[in-house]
Amino acid sequence: MAMQDAVRQAPPRTSLFNDPAIRGIIYQVVVIALVVGGGAWLVLNAIQNLAAQGKNMGFEFLTRTSGFDIGFSVIDFDRTSTYWEVFVVGLLNTLLASFISIILATILGFFLGIARLSKNWIVAKMAMVYVEVTRNIPLLLWLFVIYFAVLKTLPPVKTSMVVWNDFYLNQRGIFVPKLVFDERFVWVLGSVLVAIVAAFGVRQWAKQRLFATGKRFPTLIVAILILIAIPAITFLASGSVINVDPPVLSGFNFKGGIDIPPELAAMIVGLTLYTATFIGEIVRSGIQAVSHGQTEAAQSLGLRDGDRLRLVVLPQAMRVVIPPLTSEYLSLTKNSSLGAAIGYPELVNVFAGTALNQTGKAFEIIGMTMLVYLIFSLVTSAFMNWFNARVALVER
């Protein structure tokens, strides 16, 4: 009887597959195996098809001479450069346009988001019209308008438009003076970093002082003075010399100075104006997500409008703004591939376009291009996730 009772009381034996944790692991292993197997099948199939056509896979083509020139490059490049240098030039040009556009679009986007909530009726409506018109027209069309209808209608080189002294605009681009620094200028650059750290320290101290005593400190004025005084004193003490190399018309083009090609200018302007509209809507929604009671509480403390926005509203709005802002940064970087439509020598244009057509290495070149954009996205996401964790509200 005792043995029968023990048998009756013994818990029922369940299958491992009924355990949610074990079942989840099994599902993940199966999915990973299918993905890896599918990827291996695609690679092997591509290798077999290439072998049937008398072609082989490999990256030895990167060391061959490209035999073509690139109109704009941040590094030295000519017809004798290799395909690896073609890849580097396209990569750097993509980074240049994307980085500058992200900074400018962020500044303009925050301005638009705040302007849309302005109490001034004209400012709010102008911001609304700009946002609604710009974001509802495809970016490619905006690039065409900026490049063909604006920049390409500028006067020719001989009759260049003089903006200010040695600043020239014409069909071949924007020509501006170039600053030439000597080797002692590195001390000035170091002092700029010191000045930035000092200005940030003053800002933090002024904020703590305001919260503790309620007394204001002219942070902006002091920070500007620090950023000017420390590098200026270092410049004078080091004896550094800055020379100006202005653009000079010589024959059919300008020599000297810095030449900003119209393709780069169109890319930066187009990406900035287009992406800023989406960032502006993100900022507006983030501000509106902050409880109105927070604004009333800040007002009851005697904070002015600017202080309420800067110290109370925006810090809380950032937790709503940053996640979708990350998506906009990723989209902007990938949208830079549209530069091929206006002849800007970015990665897709010169590497996945010209280099692919000349070498026939479609599998390798497209794979490298996809990997670059994947790395861009992962690095951007990692940085924004870190920044989001820094500004997130910490519950007590």
Report how far residue 57's alpha carbon sits from residue 1's, in angstroms, rounded to the nearest whole number. 75
C-alpha torsion angle, residues 116, 119, 120, 125 (rounded to 10):
30
What is the C-alpha to C-alpha distance for residues 92 and 293, in angstroms, rounded to an integer?
Answer: 47
- Measured from the Cβ of residue 51, the count of other Cβ atoms closer than 10 Å reads 11
Residues 266 and 203: their CA atoms lie apart, in Å, by: 37
Separation CA 312–CA 352 (nearest Å):
47
Least confident of 125-139, 152-166, 219-233: 152-166
Half-sphere exposure of 282 (CA within 13 A, CB side): 24
- CA-CA-CA-CA dihedral for 171, 172, 176, 180, to nearest 10: 180
pLDDT exceeds 70 at position 4: no
Mean pLDDT across the chain, nearest whole number? Answer: 86
14 has a pLDDT exceeding 60: no
pLDDT given at position 8: 56
pLDDT bin (cut points 50, 70, 90) of residue 3 is low
How many CB atoms neighbour CB 24 within 10 A? 10
Most confident of 154-158, 209-213, 358-362, 381-385: 381-385
pLDDT at 394: 56
pLDDT for 309 equals: 75
Name which residue leads in pLDDT, 235 or 315. 235
210/180 Cα distance (integer angstroms)? 43
**Cα dihedral value 336, 339, 345, 350, nearest 10:** 90
- The segment with the largest mean pLDDT, out of 160-169, 230-239, 274-283, is 274-283
Q: What's the average model confidence in pLDDT over 55-81?
A: 87
pLDDT greater than 80 at residue 242 = yes
Work out the average pLDDT over 146-164: 86
Q: How far apart, in whole angstroms, are the C-alpha atoms of residue 73 and residue 92?
A: 8
How many other β-carbons are positioned within 10 Å of the β-carbon of residue 109?
25
**End-to-end alpha carbon distance in the chain:** 58
Position 127 scores a pLDDT of 92
Report the alpha-carbon angle 49-82-357, nearest 5. 40
Give the torsion through C-alpha atoms of 145, 151, 153, 157, to 10 deg: -170
Alpha helices per DSSP H over 301-361: 305-307, 314-335, 347-349, 356-359
What does the pLDDT average to over 77-101? 93
* 46 vs 377 pLDDT, higher one: 377
| Mean pLDDT, residues 144-169 | 86
Give mean pLDDT, residues 186-215.
87
Report d(CA 339, CA 270) in Å as an integer. Answer: 10
Q: Is 259 helix (H, G, I), strand (E, B) or coil?
A: strand
Mean pLDDT comparison of 95-109, 157-171, 291-305, highest-scoring range: 95-109
Q: How far is 76 from 133, CA to CA, in rounded Å?
A: 40
Nearest one of 147, 139, 146, 134 to 335, comparing CA atoms:
139
More confident residue, 86 or 16: 86
pLDDT band at 216 (very low <50, low <70, confident <90, very high): confident
For residue range 259-285, list pLDDT tens digits in order: 889 999 999 999 999 999 999 999 998
Closest CA to 98 of 366, 330, 262, 384: 330
- Average pLDDT of span 87-98: 94
Tokens of 364: 């390798």
Phi, psi of 164 (to 5 degrees): -160, 115
Lowest average pLDDT, out of 135-149, 234-248, 302-316, 344-358, goes to 302-316
Asked if residue 5 has pLDDT above 70, the reply is no
Query: What torsion, rounded to 10 degrees, do the Cα atoms 159, 160, 163, 164 define?
Result: -80
At residue 319, the 3 state secondary structure works out as helix
Q: Which long-range contacts (CB under 8 A, 24 or more apart) does 150-155 make?
A: 150/266, 151/262, 151/265, 151/266, 152/262
- Can you give the pLDDT at residue 10? 52
pLDDT at 13: 56
For the whole model, what pTM was predicted? 0.81
Write down the pLDDT at residue 245.
85
Side chain identity at 153, as an amino acid letter?
Answer: T
Distance (Å, whole) CA 187 – CA 190:
5
